[in-house]
Amino acid sequence: MGEKNESICSYLNKPDIFADFINGSLFSGNKVISVEELETPVFTGKEMHKDREGKTVSKLRNRDVVKFRKGGEQLAVIAVENQDELNYIMPFRCMEYDVEDYAKQIRRIKKRHERDGDLKDSAEFLSGIKKEDKLNPVVTVIFYHGEGTWNTCKSLHDMLNFKKENVIMRRYTPNYESLIISLQEMDENKYETGLRELIGVMKRSSDKQRMQEYLEENQQRFQKLDDDTYDVISVMTNHKKLEYFKEQNRTKEGGVNMCKAFQEMEDEARERGYQDGIQRGIQDGMQQGMQQGTLLGEEKIIKLIKKLIEAGRNAEILAVTESPEVRKRLYQEFALV
């Protein structure tokens, strides 16, 4: 499991974030699932049980995030699988997870009836459960936060070969639909927790200007971001250096001003770029001077860099170090020929 997957799994595992994710993604932001109804199941890692031949087998639990929803007397299993890359067998993989969850429920019911000894007719003994016994629904949501939208298999049928002679079998083959939520299709305004800011920033992370505009448009929320959201944003958007600007931008209320943190990170990166550019420019000038047999190249490029700084044109320093054509043009512009 990579750092990004660990980070988003840990974040979604928080009851308030999980409830907000499900409500925003499945119920258009309506508060159908409450935090109070959610319970995090405790897994020991492996579940031991006997197969049909009586052999003891184990099943490794590897769901990304799973919660029990207990509403009144009813219970449902809700799980989230995080994906940052397309997976061509995802429908089958989720089907396996769900089938195992149903199988686990059946095993529990069977054990209860074995303990109570209350099975009566042949059908009950054959099934191991009673006619009135019902399983709790299992819902698996695939959260795809990779590039673009999910443009591969969305159901078991998408994975199957129904070409030519097989087409007649399609109507008789049970299907299994996947419930896929793609980041780029999500409306961040349907979420109430820090998930709103996380989704908004992640959707724009590949476009620096769009992300900056989003931060400015939502300053009020980004100026008092909670620690968990701040941390997961820094990981999911590949801005790990935000960690170094966290404490110095903490608010009186205990949150973090991410707008200022982003600006300070950008300012530092820009300044570091300028300094690197100056150093590279000097080195390049020295190399030119050595090639010419004099120190003229070094002196000339240092003068040019100073002129650019005085003119407030620091952004051109890197281009000076990388392009002889740019240097030649600027030498002429500043009369350094």
Mind listing the pLDDT tens digit for each residue in 181-198? 999 999 999 999 999 999
C-alpha span between 232 and 230 (Å, rounded): 6
**Closest by CA position to 235, among listed 112, 96, 84:** 84
110, 243: one domain? no
The stretches of 27-177 forming alpha helices (DSSP H) are 90-116, 122-127, 156-159
Query: What is the arithmetic mean of pLDDT over 312-324?
Result: 76
Domain that holds residue 326: 278-333
Q: Would you place residue 61 in the very low, low, confident or very high pLDDT band (cuts 50, 70, 90)? A: low
Which two tokens mark 15? Answer: 């009851």
Regarding whether 245 and 108 lie in a shared domain, the answer is: no
Q: Is residue 136 predicted with pLDDT exceeding 60? A: yes
Q: Is 178 contained in some domain?
A: yes
Residue 282 within a domain: yes
Both 64 and 106 in one domain: the answer is yes
Same domain, yes or no, for 109 and 160? yes
CA dihedral 275, 277, 283, 288 (to 10 degrees): -150
Is residue 217 predicted with pLDDT exceeding 70? Answer: yes
* 177 and 63 share one domain: yes
Q: 299 lies in a domain? A: yes
Question: Do the beta carbons of residue 99 and residue 145 sit within 8 Å?
Answer: no
Residues 304, 204 share a domain: no
Question: Where does a domain end: 166, 185, 204?
Answer: 185
Does residue 169 sit within a domain?
Answer: yes
Does 132 share its domain with 235? no
Q: Is residue 238, in this structure, part of any structural domain at all?
A: yes
* Confidence class for position 295, pLDDT limits 50, 70, 90: very low
Same domain, 180 and 221: no
Which residue do the tokens 């070969």 mark? 161
Closest-CA residue to 37 (of 9, 77, 68, 63): 68
The number of distinct structural domains making up the chain is 3
Task: Please give the full DSSP string across 216-255, using - where no structure is assigned.
Answer: HHTHHHHTTB-HHHHHHHHHHTT-GGGGGGSGGGB-TTS-
Residues 292-318, mean pLDDT to the nearest whole number: 71
SS3 for 138?
strand
Token pair of 118, please?
Answer: 């209350």
Contacts of residue 297, Cβ cutoff 8 Å, sequence gap at least 6: 285, 286, 287, 288, 289, 290, 291
Is the same domain home to 231 and 131?
no
Instruction: Tell whether 155 and 300 lie within a shared domain.
Output: no
Residues 84 and 153 occupy one common structural domain: yes
Asked which of 159, 185, 211 is the last residue of a domain, the reply is 185
| More confident call, 196 vs 276 | 196
Is 165 in the same domain as 55? yes
| pLDDT reading at 59 higher than 60 | no
pTM, entire model: 0.76
From 185, 210, 235, the end of a domain falls on 185
